[in-house]
């Protein structure tokens, strides 16, 4: 199913090439005809013939001439002249026939506008260099007058201004060498400052203004000459603020009349900075001064295409929104006189200059608007493809990858600057952002230009009142051709999105392989470092053994080297001490050098410390126990006496009524006390006093519990 699509795309491309070649030859023929005509008029001009009336169609006027090269063109086209002339006369009524209003602007009006207008924050950003320089507004000429490069870079600005006539053909506004102003900025000002001046014979029904890379002063001139038809402040806002691609086509309910008659399509994406190009101060851009060979300078670029329809509204639509500010909206005639404004801020040299030419015939401003948007889509595809190719070249291994081991090592293992990690991360994220921009552009087109819009049946956007009329049928045919061209561009953008997604997956794979290779390299380095650490440990061990060998000898020599030792040369004490100190020390060090010896001496040391701690803990416990026994005994005796006195006082009245029982109980208590005292003395002599105290307390409680009177009164 893809083969027919590819054949259709190739056929359309072939047709475009043939059209371009045809246009070049046609323009060349026109130049030759004009030169021959001027030569014939200067040499032989019949004085008796009255001058021919001016024609509104310069193309017809050229074809009707029969002098010089005109006869050649007439003879070459004689086969189709009659049929084409009749069809052209019939088709003239299909185009817009109402001319634009006359507009004229001057230098002083621009100066006053720049001084008195209340600029928005976005307008201040665009005109910052002009509004901040008071002396510039006081100069006699606001634009540079010298040729060549100028400080405001207006020599790099580009313009295309077309006046669309009654036949729908856009004729460019150009200046001859004698009439051309000295500077590029003055040329742009002369092209945009007048519309349908009284001295102009061919009246325009539409104006196409395309401006690229303007200087701040030229932005101010655009604001001054178009503020009545466009909300230029809003257009500046679209250029300055970083947004995605969007369209504003449904503003019929807006309170501002300019919004109701205006249709906007804003492009926001990215491009590569061209040579000798400089982004605007308010654009996001890569502003690095020094760039290496692998650096890709990318900037954010923007463009806005706006169409304004003149005349009176043809339809009144009720606003059914609950939060409506106005009750009704107004729809304007798509065949009304129109103005098209295209402001491009692309710091590159990739803008197409063949979007509009004199061979095209626009039915109305809507067709010119759609053709301009189509040109923007084509330019955007070229810029996206350039970014994709540069990024792909950056991350794709070179051709000598298969043959050069050094190249493979550089790609497989990361360096100290993390070059490829940064490169892959930047490339993947950049391509992702580019993909988002492409998808936003596709979504904006599909959401706004629906089937109803293309067929002219939409209620508010360019409706056709009489669909069966010849003009509307002709308009729908041309829109159908445009739609097929749009479908081709949308298909290209979708294919580019798929290619970018595939490239991102490849970058992800390269990044993972880089991580794996770098991890293996780091693991090997870790093993090498561990071997080095082990070798250093052996060296330290050897140094320690040497130090241990000399340590006891140093101790012995330091002892015998003291000044209070005998000075007689007797060596046997020194030898005995040396052997006594060194041999056990060496034996201890040797045993500690093995795991078994280390464990043995560790256990012995722990046992020794445990025994010492037990020995000292016994002494501490015995002293504390003696103090505790004395204090407890005194406390228990005092407690027992107080309790006995309370019990005897409580039961004193019962002694008279229970004499026998009391005496019996007293005898038992006395015998129990005697036994208790005997036991207490025996326990005190035989063992600990704590045990005696406990037994004493137990016997006392037992006696009180089983006494007849006590038993009755105990609660």
DSSP 122-185: HHHHHTHHHHT-HHHHHSS-SS--SSS--TT-GGG-EEEEEEE-TTSPEEE----TTT--SSHH
**In terms of Cα–Cα distance, which of 320, 505, 524, 490 is closest to 413?**
524
Is the full-model pTM beyond 0.75?
no
Bridge pairing between strands 103-104 and 170-172? unpaired
Structural element, H or E, at residue 56? none
388: tokens are: 């994709």
**Positive or negative torsion for Cα 88, 488, 451, 333:** negative
Rounded Cα–Cα distance for residues 184 and 475 (Å): 37
Q: Quick one: 476 exposed, middle or buried, by C-beta within 10 A (0-12, 13-18, 19+)?
A: middle
Residues with Cβ within 8 Å of residue 157, at least 6 apart in sequence: 184, 185, 188, 211, 212, 213, 214, 215, 218
**In terms of Cα–Cα distance, which of 466, 140, 419, 480 is closest to 292?**
419
Rounded Cα–Cα distance for residues 455 and 482 (Å): 12
**In terms of Cα–Cα distance, which of 389, 387, 391, 382 is closest to 351?**
382
Q: Quick one: 269 exposed, middle or buried, by C-beta within 10 A (0-12, 13-18, 19+)?
A: buried
* 3-class secondary structure, 273: coil
Radius of gyration of the chain (CA): 54
Structural element, H or E, at residue 342? strand 338-345
Please report, in angstroms and rounded to a whole number, the separation of the first and last CA atoms in the chain.
Answer: 109
Q: Alpha-carbon dihedral of residues 570, 576, 582, 585, nearest 10 degrees?
A: -140
- What distance separates the 2 farthest-apart alpha carbons in the chain? 182
329: tokens are: 């909206």
**Positive or negative torsion for Cα 652, 656, 662, 666:** positive
* 3-class secondary structure, 210: strand
Rounded Cα–Cα distance for residues 246 and 255 (Å): 21
Rounded Cα–Cα distance for residues 401 and 389 (Å): 19
Rounded Cα–Cα distance for residues 126 and 472 (Å): 41
Rounded Cα–Cα distance for residues 521 and 415 (Å): 11
Q: Which residues pair with 339 in a beta bridge?
A: 207, 308
Other CB atoms within 10 Å distance of the CB of residue 90: 11
pLDDT at 536: 83
CB-based contact 684:664 (threshold 8 Å): no
* pLDDT-flagged residues of the chain (< 50): 1-6, 41-86, 88-89, 647, 649, 651-672, 674, 679-687, 705-715
Q: Let me know how long the chain is.
A: 715
Rounded Cα–Cα distance for residues 168 and 26 (Å): 18
* 3-class secondary structure, 603: helix
Q: Alpha-carbon dihedral of residues 357, 358, 362, 367, nearest 10 degrees?
A: 0
pLDDT at 704: 55
Rounded Cα–Cα distance for residues 341 and 306 (Å): 5
Rounded Cα–Cα distance for residues 367 and 140 (Å): 41
Residues with Cβ within 8 Å of residue 38, at least 6 apart in sequence: none
* 3-class secondary structure, 228: coil
Rounded Cα–Cα distance for residues 152 and 142 (Å): 12
What is the DSSP track for 423-465? Answer: HHHHHHHHHHHHHHHHHHHHHHHHHHS-HHHHHT--SSSS--S
Rounded Cα–Cα distance for residues 334 and 364 (Å): 7
**In terms of Cα–Cα distance, which of 270, 342, 269, 268 is closest to 304?**
342
212: tokens are: 């690229």
pLDDT at 33: 66
What is the DSSP track for 632-662? Answer: HHHHHHHHHHHHHHHHHHHTTTHHHH-HHHH
184: tokens are: 């590029």
Roughly what angle, to the nearest 10 degrees, separates helices 405-412 and 470-560? 90
Place of tokens 């330290």: 540
Rounded Cα–Cα distance for residues 405 and 412 (Å): 10
CB-based contact 229:308 (threshold 8 Å): yes
Residues with Cβ within 8 Å of residue 23, at least 6 apart in sequence: 354, 357, 359
Phi and psi, residue 684, nearest 5° = -70, -35
What is the DSSP track for 245-284? Answer: -EEE---TT-SSHHHHTEEEEEEEEEEEPPTT----TTS-
Rounded Cα–Cα distance for residues 699 and 693 (Å): 10
Rounded Cα–Cα distance for residues 625 and 301 (Å): 94
**Positive or negative torsion for Cα 233, 239, 241, 245:** positive
| CA distances (Å), origin 210, targets 305, 330, 340, 399 | 9, 28, 8, 43
**In terms of Cα–Cα distance, which of 167, 163, 165 is closest to 93?**
167
């Amino acid at each position: 199913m893809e083969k027919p699509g590819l054949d259709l795309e190739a056929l359309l491309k072939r047709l475009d090439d043939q059209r371009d070649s045809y246009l070049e030859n046609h323009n060349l023929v026109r130049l030759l005809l004009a030169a021959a005509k001027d030569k014939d008029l200067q040499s032989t001009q019949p004085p008796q013939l009255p001058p021919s009336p001016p024609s509104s169609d310069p193309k017809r006027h050229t074809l009707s001439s029969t002098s010089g090269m005109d006869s050649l063109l007439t003879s070459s086209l004689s086969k189709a002249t009659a049929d084409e002339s009749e069809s052209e006369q019939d088709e003239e009524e299909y185009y817009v026939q109402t001319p634009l209003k006359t507009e004229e602007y001057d230098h002083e009006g621009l100066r006053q506008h720049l001084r008195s207008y209340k600029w928005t924050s976005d307008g201040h950003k665009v005109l910052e260099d002009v509004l901040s320089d008071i002396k510039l507004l006081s100069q006699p000429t606001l634009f540079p007058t010298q040729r060549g490069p100028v400080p405001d870079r207006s020599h790099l600005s580009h313009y295309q201004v077309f006046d669309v006539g009654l036949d729908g053909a856009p004729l460019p506004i150009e200046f001859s060498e004698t009439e051309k102003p000295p500077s590029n900025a003055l040329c742009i000002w002369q092209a945009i400052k007048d519309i349908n001046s009284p001295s102009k014979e061919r009246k325009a029904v539409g104006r196409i203004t395309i401006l690229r890379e303007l200087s701040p002063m030229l932005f101010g001139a655009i604001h001054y000459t178009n503020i009545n038809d466009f909300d230029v402040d809003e257009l500046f806002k679209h250029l300055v603020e970083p947004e995605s691609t969007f369209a504003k086509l449904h503003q019929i309910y807006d309170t501002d009349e300019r919004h109701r008659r205006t249709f906007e399509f804003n492009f926001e994406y990215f491009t590569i900075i061209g040579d000798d190009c400089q982004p605007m101060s308010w654009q996001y851009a890569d502003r690095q001064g020094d760039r290496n060979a692998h650096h890709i300078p990318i900037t954010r670029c923007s463009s806005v295409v706006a169409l304004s329809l003149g005349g009176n509204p043809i339809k009144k639509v009720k606003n059914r929104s609950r939060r409506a500010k106005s009750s009704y909206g107004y729809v304007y005639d798509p065949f009304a006189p129109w103005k098209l404004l295209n402001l491009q801020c692309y710091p590159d040299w990739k803008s197409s200059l063949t979007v509009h030419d004199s061979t095209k015939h626009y039915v109305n401003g809507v067709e010119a608007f759609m053709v301009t948007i189509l040109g923007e889509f084509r330019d955007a595809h070229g810029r996206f493809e350039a970014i994709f190719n540069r990024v792909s070249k950056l991350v794709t291994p070179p051709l000598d990858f298969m043959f050069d081991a050094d190249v493979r090592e550089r790609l497989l293992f990361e360096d100290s600057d993390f070059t490829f990690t940064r490169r892959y991360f930047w490339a993947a994220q950049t391509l992702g952002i580019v993909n988002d921009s492409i998808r936003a552009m596709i979504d904006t087109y599909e959401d706004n230009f629906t089937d109803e819009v293309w067929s002219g049946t939409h209620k508010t956007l360019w409706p056709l009142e009489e669909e069966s009329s010849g003009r509307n049928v002709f308009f729908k045919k041309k829109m159908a051709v445009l739609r097929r061209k749009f479908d081709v561009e949308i298909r290209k953008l979708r294919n580019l999105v798929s290619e970018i997604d595939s490239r991102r997956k490849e970058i992800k794979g390269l990044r993972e392989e880089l991580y794996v290779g770098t991890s293996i390299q780091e693991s090997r380095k870790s093993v090498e470092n561990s071997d080095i650490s082990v070798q250093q440990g052996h060296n330290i061990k050897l140094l320690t053994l040497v130090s241990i060998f000399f340590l006891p000898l140093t101790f012995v020599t330091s002892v015998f080297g003291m000044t209070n030792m005998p000075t007689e040369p007797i060596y046997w004490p020194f030898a005995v001490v040396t052997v006594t100190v060194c041999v056990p020390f060496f034996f201890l060090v040797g045993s500690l050098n093995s795991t078994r010896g280390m464990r043995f001496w560790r256990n012995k040391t722990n046992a020794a410390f445990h025994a010492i701690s037990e020995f000292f803990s016994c002494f501490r416990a015995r002293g504390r126990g003696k103090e505790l026994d004395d204090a407890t005994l005194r406390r228990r005796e005092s407690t027992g006496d107080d309790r006995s006195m309370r019990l005897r006082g409580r039961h004193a009245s019962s002694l008279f009524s229970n004499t026998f029982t009391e005496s019996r109980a007293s005898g038992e208590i006395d015998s129990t006390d005697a036994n208790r005292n005997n036991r207490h003395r025996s326990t005190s002599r035989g063992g600990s006093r704590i045990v005696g105290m406990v037994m004493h307390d137990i016997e006392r409680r037992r006696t009180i519990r089983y006494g007849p009177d006590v038993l009755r009164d105990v609660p």
